Amino acid sequence: MDKTKLIKMFAVLTAIVVLVALFSQAAQKNSMTLTEHEELLSQSQQQTASSENADAASDAGETTAPSVSPAPSSSPAEVSGNDENAEAANTASQLIGASLNAASQEDRITLKDGFYYEPVSDNLRRYITGISYPAPSNDAEPEITVEELRYVHILHYDFDGEPAEGELICNQAIAQDLVEIFYELYRNQYQLERVRLIDEYEGDDDASMDDNNTSCFNYRVVEGTTTLSKHAFGLAVDVNPYYNPYITYAKNGDRSIFPPDAEIYADRSANFPYKIDEDDLCYKLFTEHGFIWGGNWNNSKDYQHFQKNPD
């Protein structure tokens, strides 16, 4: 399949994914209006039309410029060089967050093609409000503002060994760390099954872990407590959580494993793929950047979890 047909396919899929996700938010307070949904659909249709024109020109033997341009870069984060799979970063994105945050390129900081962070756009803010970010209420204001968050786009290798897109929302304090860490993981072909916003799972951490989804921001409390998690501040990342479960211990010696179906991976003396330990590249990169690993905790073990305190 030639490049123009691939671009057209991505544009159509983008329109479908965005519509399905955004219509599910129509009932949420402070979510997008139907008019705004239609505007986004129109933009996607324009991308599709552009792709069809490129396809027609190609069939006629003409050459056209790509319909999607490389993301702009900005110092000091920029690093020169070419990526082995840089083309994956320059095609129409199928990610919900990337589609909604497209207008934020003016303030984008790019490490390498496909690895960048930027402020959360108004469209993306509306999408996450009521899911990973609290909807307005008469209760106390959230302890973090949307302005303190950053949208992060990465590339990674999936479990089929193929390059794929990924996205997270994090605290601005660790955005640079994350693009650097995930770039090194990508460069070493470290496999992550999927990296999607927790909002695609309706903010359900259990569902995200069951799907082995690597994620970051989610305004929630620590399991079994009323204390806000580091995830609520965008300062923690859970990596390949199904294979690296969270384990708590009761005073009577009983233990709880999250996700429950991952009990086989609670035995850290066993050898199995995607296990994070102190010899693992993921562990080394996160700790080199000043993150704490939950696998080193005494009263519980959170093998998927890396967190960092802001300076």
Among 59-73, 96-110, 178-192, 286-300, the range scoring the smallest mean pLDDT is: 59-73
- The mean pLDDT value for 6-15 works out to 57
Please tell me what DSSP assigns to residue 121. Answer: P
In whole angstroms, what is the distance from residue 39 CA to residue 46 CA? 11
Per-residue pLDDT, 23: 46
Query: Is residue 240 domain-shared with residue 286, that is, in the same domain?
Result: yes
- The mean pLDDT value for 267-272 works out to 97
Query: Is residue 59 domain-shared with residue 81, that is, in the same domain?
Result: no
Q: Is residue 249 over pLDDT 80?
A: yes
CB 113, CB 83: distance < 8 Å: yes
Q: Is residue 1 over pLDDT 80?
A: no
pLDDT in tens, 273-297: 999 999 999 999 999 999 999 999 9
Question: Angle formed by the axes of helices 34-59 and 3-23, to 10°?
Answer: 170
Q: Is residue 20 over pLDDT 70?
A: no
Domain count, the chain: 2
Banded model confidence at residue 38, pLDDT cuts 50, 70, 90 = very low
In whole angstroms, what is the distance from residue 96 CA to residue 189 CA? 24
Banded model confidence at residue 80, pLDDT cuts 50, 70, 90 = very low
Domain hosting residue 26, numbered range: 1-68
Query: Is residue 178 domain-shared with residue 261, that is, in the same domain?
Result: yes
Query: Is residue 99 domain-shared with residue 62, that is, in the same domain?
Result: no
Q: Which of 68, 91, 115 is the last residue of a domain?
A: 68
Query: Is residue 246 domain-shared with residue 197, that is, in the same domain?
Result: yes
In whole angstroms, what is the distance from residue 211 CA to residue 135 CA? 26
Query: Is residue 161 domain-shared with residue 205, that is, in the same domain?
Result: yes
Query: Is residue 127 domain-shared with residue 43, that is, in the same domain?
Result: no
Per-residue pLDDT, 60: 44
Q: Is residue 135 over pLDDT 70?
A: yes
In whole angstroms, what is the distance from residue 196 CA to residue 172 CA? 18
Which has more confidence, 45 or 152? 152
Query: Is residue 51 domain-shared with residue 172, that is, in the same domain?
Result: no
Q: Which residues are 214's β-sheet partners? A: 195
Strand boundaries in 39-134, DSSP class E: 109-112, 115-119
In whole angstroms, what is the distance from residue 88 CA to residue 154 CA? 11
27-33: long-range contacts at Cβ-Cβ below 8 A with a sequence spacing of 24 or more?
28/129, 28/130, 28/131, 28/135, 29/129, 29/130, 29/135, 29/136, 30/126, 30/129, 30/130, 30/135, 30/136, 31/126, 31/127, 31/129, 31/130, 32/123, 32/126, 32/127
Question: Angle formed by the axes of helices 175-187 and 281-288, to 10°?
Answer: 150
Per-residue pLDDT, 226: 86
- The mean pLDDT value for 259-278 works out to 97
- The mean pLDDT value for 210-236 works out to 94
Query: Is residue 46 domain-shared with residue 100, that is, in the same domain?
Result: no
Assess whether the previous peptide bond of 273 is cis (omega < 30° from 0): no
- The mean pLDDT value for 11-19 works out to 55
Query: Is residue 53 domain-shared with residue 95, that is, in the same domain?
Result: no
In whole angstroms, what is the distance from residue 265 CA to residue 281 CA? 18
Q: Which residues are 236's β-sheet partners? A: 307
Closest-CA residue to 222 (of 95, 126, 288, 307): 307
Closest-CA residue to 244 (of 220, 271, 268): 268
In whole angstroms, what is the distance from residue 168 CA to residue 184 CA? 16
Assess whether the previous peptide bond of 76 is cis (omega < 30° from 0): yes
Per-residue pLDDT, 269: 97
Per-residue pLDDT, 74: 36
Using CA atoms, how far residue 84 sits from 163, 187, 296, in Å, is 10, 9, 35
* Residue found by looking up tokens 């909002």 in the block: 199
Query: Is residue 141 domain-shared with residue 64, that is, in the same domain?
Result: no
- The mean pLDDT value for 136-143 works out to 86
Backbone angles phi, psi at 166, to 5 degrees: -145, 160
Q: Which of 68, 88, 120 is the last residue of a domain?
A: 68
Banded model confidence at residue 76, pLDDT cuts 50, 70, 90 = very low
Q: Is residue 168 over pLDDT 50?
A: yes
The angle at the Cα of 250, spanning 245 to 252, to the nearest 5 degrees, equals 135
Query: Is residue 298 domain-shared with residue 277, that is, in the same domain?
Result: yes
Q: Where are the alpha helices (DSSP H) in 113-235?
A: 122-128, 175-187, 205-210
Q: Which of 68, 98, 121 is the last residue of a domain?
A: 68
